[in-house]
Structure 1
Amino acid sequence: MKARISCFFLLVFFFVQMVKGEDDTLWQLHASDINAPYVGAPMANGGIGILPWKEPFSVRQVILNHVFDTDGPQGVSRVLKGINPFLMSMDVDGKEVNTECITNWKQCVDMKEATHNSSFRAAGKIDVGYSICALRNMPYAGLIRVEVKALSDVSLKVAARMDIPQEYSQPTQRFRKMRADDTQMYMLQSYAVSAHRQQKVSASSAFIFNKGATQEPLYDEVTKEMSFVLNLKKGEQISFALVGSVCSARDFSDPYNEAERQVIYAIHEGTTSLMAAHCSLWNELWESDILIEGDDEAQRAVRFALFNLYSSCREGSGLSISPMGLSSQGYNGHIFWDSELWMFPPMLLLNKGIAESMIDYRIDRLMAARKKAMAYGFKGAMFPWESDDYGEESTPTFALTGPLEHHITADISIACWNYYCLTRDGQWLRTKAFPLMKAVADFWVSRVTRNDDGSYSICNVVGADEYANGVDDNAFTNGAAIRALEYACEAARICNEPVPEIWEEVGKGIRILRFKDGVTREHATYNGEMIKQADVNLLGYPLYFVGDAESQKKDMEYYVDKIDPQNGPAMSYSVFCVQYARMGDAKRAYEMFCRCYQPNLRAPFGVLAETPTSDNPYFMTGAGGLLQAVINGFCGLQIMDGGVEQLSSVLPAHWKKVTVKGVGPEKKMYVRER
């Protein structure tokens, strides 16, 4: 692992003097005004998400990946907040350290090391720095490292406690002393059951001291806090850590003892070893990265988008990424088309393991999709608009997207085909992907309506533009269905399987409607109304139905100003950016690039909200769109039947070079220069 001094030690404690290169600043996001507007940046590892905040040692919540209860006795599923074992407080000479007594407050998100670092001076008596991370090497655990330097003789009290959110019942907490080999350990433990589906969750935490330290934490039965007291002399420095683990019955048959085992393991490993393994895994992730020369602001925003997608999933988990990842309970933690259309493409190019996990999520739930198709009178497989762990429809019943937004079934099949095109894994295609693609093709054949002229329509749907409910011949739905049928035919030939003639007939016969002037019509009754997000323009990219630049331009000019400027989601403009960049229109491409993220940034770190007016970050879907704007647009990368190709494209006027490294199984590098 490459040796480096972390943002934590340099900017927080100032104990090490080092001149950092300019490149290091492009890995860091800073805050220095505790009174300014603030939206926290989550730290996640694909298993849990930890949300630090601005107050000293504050952790707002822990989100568990794909652990669901419901939002009420008869409600739909909602991802659970975890028991929070990362709550810490500090007293100096008997007074609580809070926002009223601190100065010199600073925070730094270090994307390279995946740490959230804070520093401040408390009551003029101590300098404090701490670093929070969700350990990449332990996906159910997090670590808070603390350093304190005494500016005068002081008495220091440090306490840790747990928070059990309101969606739990039957909570229990205890303080446990135990010896493992020659190590004496003191742990907090909590256990609770979710209110409605009886999901069992447990958490454990413990202080970790430097080897040779003899601190013995005490426990207060009233406050449920574990604490220790130290008397420090002026100039004296101490360091310690708090490790916590959160486990559920979804992932472990015995979450109670597993949470304890993980904390015991962490104590025996020690913070140095834990962080070395954490950083090593993040270094591996960053072997695939995007480098922008000439625009530092864009570099940080794009890298932060990639950082958040890497944080939200992990290889081998069999899980995908919800619109808000592990930052919140937004959209109930369900999996939408956001996964396949927006987040999957950059992950497929940059991290095959994460991409495979995202596809495995759908393949593993094919049986549930078959049952849904049968329940609605169709053949094959019909995937839910919102999916939870069961793979069943989880959309709130008031939303017509649940019963009518069917393009997701095609989106998933298209993602399978793209995975095969990149990997050329014939065994995977035959055994895992083709059964899904076949079921999807059978669904669309049963879903279409034959018209008198021999063409086919898809009626009564919600398209990508969710402002249009129950329409016929939605452009994106029809285009995605055509591509799903075409790819199923090609996959069948590769697998030496029969190709039903009806697949080809329907695929060639589904209608794409147009106005008299040649502009693609969004649906059969569309006449220029405001739309929620890009729909028709997805035919130009990523579906490639509208192939010539002039037709793409006409479609974009017609629809770009029809997107809701207040409530339209961030990613729409990224598809405009891709197409303009490939047309050679650098000015227009850069305008769309800025529109796909800048209005949605939230201070101080630039976390991404869904819309210009919402406050629900971090929006992983928008991150996927932003990455596609650079990878597929400015750098021109595209997955074709034979693998990755670099198409002609242009850069913004002030950009010097874009480098996308670590692409595909061979970890290739692609460069676009002015």
Structure 2
Amino acid sequence: MKTLVRTEFDPFLRPAYLANGLVGLRVGQIPLIAGSALVNGYIGKDCSGESDTVSAAPYPVGADIAINGRYLSERTAAANFIAQAYDLNCGELRSTFEYAFESVVATVKVLTFCNRTMPTIVQQQVRVSVNEPCKLVLQAQLDPRGLPGKLLDWLRPAKRVDGLLQWESPGGYSRIGAGYHATCHCDGEYLDAIRNNFGHERDLQLTRFVIDGEPGREYSMQQIGVLVPSLMHNEPHLQAMRQLQMAKWFEFEKLRQRNASAWSELWKSRIRLVGAEEKYQDLLDSSFFYMHSSVNQATPSSVAPFGLSQDGYSGHVFWDAETFMFPGVLLTAPSAAKAMMEYRVRCAPQARMNAKLNGYEGLQFPWQSSNDGYEVTSYYTEGNAELHINVDIAFAMIQYVNATGDDVFFKEHAWPIVKGVADWVVSRADETDRGYEIQHVVGIDESCVNVNNNCTLNCVSKIVLQQAGEWARKLELVPTEKWAEVAEKLFVPIDSEEKWIMPHEGYVYDPQKKAAHGNFHEGIYSIEAMMLDFPFGYHHSPEVDEATKRHYMKYLHTYMGMPMAAANAVVWAAREGEPELAKEFLDTGYLSRHFEPFNMIGETAKFREGSPNENFVTAQGGILSAVILGLCGLDIVEGSPEGWAKHPIRLPGDWEAIEIDRLYARGRPFRVVARNGAEKAEISFID
């Protein structure tokens, strides 16, 4: 994996995104000047007052430097950027800059990372050398001034930690515990600290090291910061103190080594491309890195479309999590995938209430959800009818059980979810002279509002109903009689002449119509029926399946450059024998919104109007899932992974093969090799 390097200052450069699945940072080119933090589960009142939103948290590794009494924070223009390097091997960001006052020049090297093994912990090391004698100050600080919300508790924790506070988000929706500890040493000798713990500093908390700086020596300040959301502990500030004490016992370097080891283990699941251009390998490496930066086993509230990189879509959880991100995480980091499923399990009681509110049985998961699982859709109220998310979640539960063989999770959690969704489908479907129909919904194509019999909802509902019946029999229970009946008779909108599955009943292509929610080109054809083949694996009949693929392949090019399903389009084109079209979807759908120097991905392409939103983790998870499952021809079905290889291998462009040394199935690691033109992928256990 590469170390991504920037050597020229760019005032418009998007800050680096560092995260570990619980804490996310944006770190500027001069790290001591610019930094922000988000925490999974820490939310506040949206400025519109309509909903909640992920809220900015105190930056846990704030710092400053002074030369002869003049602080960098007061003279930011005096900083001279030299370089910034992001090591994808271990998630460490290394920044170098100079700070000058009069004839004194300090060279500052900053190391920053979010620890993966202790996910509440952020670490930073500031190393400084000077060109001539001076009075040098290195300062660690916790500064909530300017943050939305208010201070609840400020403690003087004596020798335990240097700073500690409890902060409440706007509207009092949640609280965050924040703290830090700092040490400074030179040539193995630790320096004395000055702390402003006089009892009245209720905003800025700091630890200051005053040094007689000398040329030829390096002074190193090590910071350990902590952030704990109230979602995970009722007294987050006190738990932050405990977490920080534990981190101090491990010490800075040992924690750093543990983080690097955790990343090294993850990278054993790296996707390697044979015969592909370097840009595609870079795309997959950065996507793997950012996806896994955004989730781990400690993630309490699943993954938002932008992870923890920004507050886009208010940090809410959508179908993106289960349909695009989850499959790639499932086989590379099963414990992180389990955390994503546990979020839906925790929110199941609210899904049951949501179904009742709408007059139905079972579980109806909301289109947008936050900490507690209630519906929080605000600006896009039609989302309340985007009901395919319900079966998307049930489908992910089925994938999890098939992939892990976790019988306890199956019986205690997955089965109640799938049963609840199956009950909802039966309740939501209306019996007509054509069988059963689900009316007045919004499909994946959000430009089509208030339609009947959306293909994704109806067809994936059939899968869920059938699986619910099989699971009931496996548990020696009597399946609900209506499940099989509705599964068989649920109406699928099929063109009467050419026999292809329509996006929804009555769909008519409008060459002038644009997609919803974006400055996209005209003439986009609704291709969501292709989602039935991949990723959902729905098969209607040989005649209809082939007619559907044949029809949509004629219009697939109209989707070029669109977000969301661009990765799936790569699979569709490749499987249908169009390798150059598949490659074009990679170039236009991904590389056109691949932003240097840190290889983040925007939701929209560079050539679209307006500023692209980054870092779009949905797209990064989507390409991982598309390559691991779609291009490798795997269907996660019940049984050993040797039986998952279902499709001939057809790869984009000149790709010769895909090699993945370690994926996981049922607790066992296995290797996958997918060679272009092969009948199916080669799968072998490696334990």
Match of 2:136 among 145, 150, 156: 156
How many Å separate the matches in 2 of 1:319 and 1:202? 18
Change (3 A) 1:322 1:534: farther
Corresponding residue for 1:29?
A: 4
Change (3 A) 1:317 1:368: same
Residue 203 of structure 1: how far off its partner (Å): 1.4
Match of 1:448 among 429, 432, 446: 429
Give 3-state SS (helix, strand or coil) of 1:668's partner: strand
Change (3 A) 1:260 1:534: farther
Residue 163 of structure 1: how far off its partner (Å): 3.4
1:413-457 superposed Cα distances (whole Å, 9 cap, x missing partner)? 11111112112333432222111111111111111122213x222
Contact 2:40 2:300 in 1 (8 A): no
Residue 244 of structure 1: how far off its partner (Å): 1.2
Residue 517, structure 1, aligned to residue 513, structure 2: no
Residue 82, structure 1, aligned to residue 57, structure 2: yes
Give 5+ residue unaligned stretches, structure 2. 517-525, 677-687
1:360-375 aligned at under 5 Å gives the runs 360-375=342-357
Corresponding residue for 2:277?
A: 295
Corresponding residue for 1:119?
A: 96
Residue 100 of structure 1: how far off its partner (Å): 3.8
Contact 2:196 2:207 in 1 (8 A): yes
Corresponding residue for 2:553?
A: 557
Contact 2:59 2:143 in 1 (8 A): yes
Match of 2:221 among 234, 240, 244: 240
1:185-584 aligned at under 5 Å gives the runs 187-197=162-172, 199-210=174-185, 212-219=189-196, 225-293=206-274, 294-315=276-297, 317-396=299-378, 398-402=380-384, 404-453=385-434, 455-515=435-495, 516-529=497-510, 530=513, 531-532=515-516, 534-545=527-538, 550-563=546-559, 568-569=562-563, 571-584=564-577
How many Å separate the matches in 1 of 2:653 and 2:170? 56
Residue 623 of structure 1: how far off its partner (Å): 0.9
Residue 349 of structure 1: how far off its partner (Å): 1.4
Give 3-state SS (helix, strand or coil) of 1:69's partner: strand
Change (3 A) 1:105 1:655: farther
Change (3 A) 1:201 1:428: closer
How many Å separate the matches in 1 of 2:648 and 2:560? 31
Give 3-state SS (helix, strand or coil) of 2:668's partner: coil
How many Å separate the matches in 1 of 2:215 and 2:45? 53
Change (3 A) 1:555 1:628: farther
How many Å separate the matches in 2 of 1:358 and 1:289? 21
1:88-143 superposed Cα distances (whole Å, 9 cap, x missing partner)? 12233444446644446211111111111111333372332111111112211201
Match of 1:640 among 637, 640, 643: 637
Change (3 A) 1:446 1:281: same
How many Å separate the matches in 1 of 2:157 and 2:419? 57
How many Å separate the matches in 2 of 1:155 and 1:602? 41
How many Å separate the matches in 2 of 1:553 and 1:290? 28
Match of 2:592 among 591, 599, 624: 599
Contact 1:66 1:333 in 2 (8 A): no
**TM-score after normalising by structure 2:** 0.87
How many Å separate the matches in 2 of 1:475 and 1:623? 26
Stretch moving more, 507-516 or 373-382: 507-516
Change (3 A) 1:232 1:134: same
Stretch moving more, 504-513 or 314-323: 314-323
Corresponding residue for 2:649?
A: 649
Stretch moving more, 212-221 or 107-116: 212-221
How many Å separate the matches in 2 of 1:362 and 1:608? 27
Change (3 A) 1:545 1:39: same
Stretch moving more, 624-633 or 463-472: 624-633
Residue 213 of structure 1: how far off its partner (Å): 0.9
- The letter for the 2-side match of 1:240 is M
How many Å separate the matches in 1 of 2:505 and 2:149? 48
Corresponding residue for 2:616?
A: 619
How many Å separate the matches in 2 of 1:366 and 1:415? 15
How many Å separate the matches in 2 of 1:198 and 1:204? 20
Contact 1:578 1:628 in 2 (8 A): no
Change (3 A) 1:56 1:333: closer
- The letter for the 2-side match of 1:230 is I
How many Å separate the matches in 1 of 2:613 and 2:506? 33
How many Å separate the matches in 1 of 2:94 and 2:111? 4
How many Å separate the matches in 2 of 1:158 and 1:290? 42
Residue 154 of structure 1: how far off its partner (Å): 3.6
Match of 2:15 among 29, 40, 43: 40
- The letter for the 1-side match of 2:531 is L
- The letter for the 2-side match of 1:560 is L
How many Å separate the matches in 2 of 1:269 and 1:420? 36
How many Å separate the matches in 1 of 2:167 and 2:400? 40
1:565-607 superposed Cα distances (whole Å, 9 cap, x missing partner)? 5xx42x3121121122233432222222233311222232121
How many Å separate the matches in 1 of 2:223 and 2:262? 21
How many Å separate the matches in 2 of 1:672 and 1:151? 56
How many Å separate the matches in 1 of 2:648 and 2:171? 54
- The letter for the 1-side match of 2:332 is L
Residue 262 of structure 1: how far off its partner (Å): 2.8
Number of equivalences: 638
How many Å separate the matches in 1 of 2:45 and 2:16? 26
1:464-483 superposed Cα distances (whole Å, 9 cap, x missing partner)? 11111111111112122112
Corresponding residue for 2:27?
A: 52
Contact 1:540 1:552 in 2 (8 A): no
Stretch moving more, 486-495 or 150-159: 150-159
Residue 287 of structure 1: how far off its partner (Å): 2.7
Residue 30 of structure 1: how far off its partner (Å): 1.8
Change (3 A) 1:352 1:224: closer
Residue 207 of structure 1: how far off its partner (Å): 1.6
Change (3 A) 1:559 1:57: farther
Give 5+ residue unaligned stretches, structure 1. 1-25
1:44-102 superposed Cα distances (whole Å, 9 cap, x missing partner)? 11221111112342443111112222215853121222122222122334444466444
Residue 562 of structure 1: how far off its partner (Å): 4.3
Residue 212 of structure 1: how far off its partner (Å): 3.4
How many Å separate the matches in 2 of 1:103 and 1:317? 37
Contact 2:537 2:635 in 1 (8 A): no
Change (3 A) 1:581 1:36: farther
Give 3-state SS (helix, strand or coil) of 1:640's partner: coil
How many Å separate the matches in 2 of 1:426 and 1:451? 38
Give 3-state SS (helix, strand or coil) of 2:42's partner: strand
- The letter for the 2-side match of 1:465 is D
1:657-668 aligned at under 5 Å gives the runs 657-664=657-664, 665-668=667-670
1:385-414 superposed Cα distances (whole Å, 9 cap, x missing partner)? 111121111111652102x11111111111
Contact 2:193 2:209 in 1 (8 A): yes
